[in-house]
């Protein structure tokens, strides 16, 4: 289910037990904190962070205000939410922008963290904000590193400045001159990585830093390496004085403790997080939203933002009209599938809904969604507009055309009819619980 689902599940269970108590004693809170401590350590959160976090929560939670409250369990969850948010940095830290363009972003990190791909993702993200980015190939050691950056850049149509195996310091300086000459307002330099930290790598990065005076030095770390990600961040920060961190692979669930530890240990903010393989899968890091997700409260704000990026205002108005008039067709159903895919898939969407992130082993059959899509695409325009009129012989043709069975076609049409019925109920204000699944 994605990042922190097992931690979220454990913490939700701990606090649901607390919430069942009418009143809480100091012992109840300390027992709960012992369980929280264990859950955090299992998620590979740095032990100093665990200690700081649980001490602060305990200190606030055993105060008279909480113990004598009518809803002590909820008060404790509120405190935990605040402290988790604080330890991850409090608020989202935006990228700095140079007062005299171009803004220079130096990207660094170990091999395997996804740094080169992240350069492309960041460039795409900035272009969406109206920037004109230039990528710079500064890794002259790893075989095919320059080609990899070019392939990534071509997929998103962003130019690359490269000078082959030339000294990366000189290439970086020339790239800045080129950017000024051709009106690029942001320069993203992809630098060499190593399998592990060594002084030769650090010295080269220091020379590039000294020669181009970057606006931002962003360290790309693999969140799935857990505590190792924190150690890497600490070393790079000591050597380079980084300005921020980008966490990759934040869509996995294993050892997500890096997200909770890096800010406290390095005192440098996590600015972005990679949440998937696609070039669009980069999000600003919001400590408050991450805390909500860990506590099983969902992340509705991020969900709304994803929806706004995916669906235009006109599309939303048109869908609202169809909803109101109950004129929803199978083409609209298909459009909803596509929108969900662009938002990261239904599994990702469900993980952002309050109370859903911690539901154990919630599996959405993405293959069924693809099957349904194939069925709809095998229909004629008339069949999509008037699915009630589809006869048995047509169902056989549709099944054959989509490589599915008549039973699959029947199931989709039944689901669609139920969805339309649900819309009618909602429109008439007679919403009741339906014993079916939507997708």
Q: Please, which pLDDT band fits residue 46 given cuts at 50, 70 and 90?
A: confident
User: How much is the pLDDT for 357?
Assistant: 47
β-partners of residue 218 are 107, 244
User: How much is the pLDDT for 349?
Assistant: 58
- Residue range(s) of every CATH 1.10.260.30 domain in the chain: 304-427
199 has pLDDT over 80: yes
420 has pLDDT over 50: yes
Question: Which has the minimum average pLDDT: 94-108, 129-143, 336-350, 365-379?
Answer: 336-350
Q: Does domain 304-427 have CATH number 1.10.260.30?
A: yes
User: How much is the pLDDT for 87?
Assistant: 87
**Tokens 């083409």 appear where?**
331
Contact 333, 379 (CB under 8 A): no
Question: For residue range 87-137, what is the model confidence (pLDDT) as tens digits?
Answer: 888 888 899 999 988 999 999 988 878 889 999 999 999 999 999 999 999
* More confident: 425 or 431: 425
CATH architecture entry for 5-87: Up-down Bundle (1.20)
231 has pLDDT over 90: no
DSSP single-letter state for residue 258: H
With b for 16 or more beta-carbon neighbours within 10 A and e for fewer, the 304-319 pattern comes to ebbeeebbeeeeeeeb
DSSP 3-state of 246: strand
User: How much is the pLDDT for 372?
Assistant: 83
User: What does the alpha-carbon distance between residue 351 and residue 215 come to, in Å, rounded to a whole number?
Assistant: 35
DSSP single-letter state for residue 252: -
Which candidate, 2, 86, 14, 38, places its Cα nearest to that of 291?
Answer: 86
Question: Which has the minimum average pLDDT: 64-78, 146-160, 187-201, 232-246?
Answer: 64-78
- Residue range(s) of every CATH 3.40.50.300 domain in the chain: 103-295
Looking at CATH, the fold of the domain delimited by 103-295 is given as Rossmann fold (3.40.50)
Q: Please, which pLDDT band fits residue 263 given cuts at 50, 70 and 90?
A: confident
- Residue range(s) of every CATH 1.20.120.140 domain in the chain: 5-87
Question: Which has the minimum average pLDDT: 252-256, 371-375, 390-394?
Answer: 252-256
* More confident: 359 or 350: 350
User: How much is the pLDDT for 67?
Assistant: 64
User: How much is the pLDDT for 358?
Assistant: 45
352 has pLDDT over 60: no
β-partners of residue 138 are 191
User: How much is the pLDDT for 431?
Assistant: 42
* More confident: 252 or 55: 55
Beta strands in 312-415 (DSSP E): none
Q: Please, which pLDDT band fits residue 75 given cuts at 50, 70 and 90?
A: confident
Mean pLDDT of the chain: 80
Question: For residue range 5-45, what is the model confidence (pLDDT) as tens digits?
Answer: 677 778 878 877 777 766 777 888 888 888 888 888 888 88
* More confident: 367 or 140: 140
The two tokens of residue 198 are 């060594």
Question: For residue range 271-295, what is the model confidence (pLDDT) as tens digits?
Answer: 998 877 888 888 888 888 888 777 7
User: How much is the pLDDT for 438?
Assistant: 37
User: What does the alpha-carbon distance between residue 330 and residue 377 come to, in Å, rounded to a whole number?
Assistant: 10
User: How much is the pLDDT for 293?
Assistant: 74
Contact 27, 275 (CB under 8 A): no
Question: For residue range 375-418, what is the model confidence (pLDDT) as tens digits?
Answer: 888 888 888 888 888 888 899 999 988 888 999 899 888 888 88
User: What residue spans of 88-191 are helical by DSSP H?
Assistant: 115-128, 145-156, 168-182
The two tokens of residue 294 are 């860990």
- The pTM of the whole model exceeds 0.85: no
Contact 175, 201 (CB under 8 A): no
């Amino acid at each position: 289910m994605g990042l922190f689902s097992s931690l979220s599940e454990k913490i939700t269970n701990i606090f649901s037990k607390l919430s069942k108590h009418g009143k809480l004693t100091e012992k109840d809170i300390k027992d709960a904190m012992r369980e929280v401590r264990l859950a955090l350590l299992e998620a590979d959160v740095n032990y100093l962070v665990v200690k700081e976090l649980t001490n602060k929560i305990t200190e606030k939670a055993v105060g008279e205000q909480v113990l004598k409250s009518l809803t002590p369990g909820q008060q404790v969850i509120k405190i935990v939410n605040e402290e988790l948010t604080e330890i991850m940095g409090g608020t989202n830290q935006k990228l700095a922008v140079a007062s005299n363009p171009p803004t220079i972003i130096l990207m660094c990190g170990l091999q395997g963290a996804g740094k080169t791909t992240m350069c492309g993702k960041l460039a795409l993200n900035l272009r969406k904000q109206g920037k004109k980015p230039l990528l710079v190939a500064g890794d002259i050691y790893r075989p095919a590193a320059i080609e990899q950056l070019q392939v990534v850049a071509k997929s998103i149509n962003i130019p690359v400045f490269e000078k082959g195996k030339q000294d990366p310091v000189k290439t970086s300086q020339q790239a800045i001159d080129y950017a000024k000459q051709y009106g690029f307002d942001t320069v993203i330099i992809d630098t060499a990585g190593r399998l592990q930290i060594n002084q030769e790598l650090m010295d080269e990065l220091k020379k590039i830093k000294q020669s181009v005076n970057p606006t931002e030095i962003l360290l790309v770390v693999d969140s799935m390496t857990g505590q190792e990600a924190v150690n890497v961040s600490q070393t790079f920060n000591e050597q380079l004085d980084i300005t921020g961190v980008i966490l990759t692979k934040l869509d996995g669930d294993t050892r997500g403790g890096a997200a909770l530890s890096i800010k406290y240990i390095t005192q440098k903010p996590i600015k972005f997080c990679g949440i998937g393989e696609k070039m669009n899968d980069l999000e600003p890091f919001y400590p408050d939203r991450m805390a909500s997700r860990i506590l099983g409260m969902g992340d509705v704000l991020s969900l709304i933002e994803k929806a706004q990026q995916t669906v235009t205002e006109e599309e939303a108005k048109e869908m609202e009209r169809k909803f109101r008039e109950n004129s929803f067709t199978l083409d609209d159903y298909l459009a909803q599938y596509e929108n969900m895919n662009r938002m990261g898939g239904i599994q990702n969407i469900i993980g952002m809904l309050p109370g859903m992130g911690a539901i154990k082993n919630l599996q959405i059959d993405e293959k069924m969604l693809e099957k349904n899509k194939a069925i709809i695409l095998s229909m004629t325009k008339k069949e999509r507009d008037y699915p009630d009129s589809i006869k048995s012989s047509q169902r056989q043709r549709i099944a054959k055309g989509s490589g599915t069975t008549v039973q699959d076609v029947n199931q989709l049409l039944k689901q669609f009819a139920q969805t339309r019925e649900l819309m009618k109920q909602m429109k008439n204000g007679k919403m009741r619980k339906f014993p079916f699944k939507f997708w």
